[in-house]
Amino acid sequence: MPMIEINIHEAKARLSEYLARVERGETVIICRRNRPVAELRPVGAGPAHPRPMGLAAGRIRIPKAFFEPLDEDLLDRFEGKGG
């Protein structure tokens, strides 16, 4: 896979062009003062099919207490109040 190095100024001025190259499979290394700081590369393909819903149906039980309001003291701790 081809790889090119560019400086930040060039990346800002020609970002669309470099993104097009990345879409074609190239990797672009962005440098600051000739030192690599970031890499633009193609994102891996996502799953071919959406993940099916309900894979754990019947295996997990959520108790009714899960849906009850939280205790005020515990709620305060979640919100960063009190100790």
Q: Is residue 53 part of a domain?
A: no
Residue 11's domain comprises 3-40
How would you write the chain as a 3-class SS string? CCEEEEEHHHHHHCHHHHHHHHHCCCEEEEEECCEEEEEECCCCCCCCCCCCCCCCCCCCCCCHHHHCCCCHHHHHHHCCCCC
Q: Name the phi and psi angles at 40, rounded to 5.
A: -105, 125
Domain containing residue 11: CATH number: 3.40.1620.10
Predicted pLDDT of residue 52: 86
The per-residue pLDDT for range 56-79, each reduced to its tens digit, is 888 888 899 999 998 899 989 988
Whether 18 contacts 6, CB under 8 Å: yes
The per-residue pLDDT for range 2-60, each reduced to its tens digit, is 789 999 999 999 999 999 999 999 999 999 999 999 999 999 877 888 888 888 888 88
Q: Is residue 21 part of a domain?
A: yes
- List, in sequence order, every residue forming a beta bridge with 5; answer none if it has no partner: 29
pTM over 0.75: no
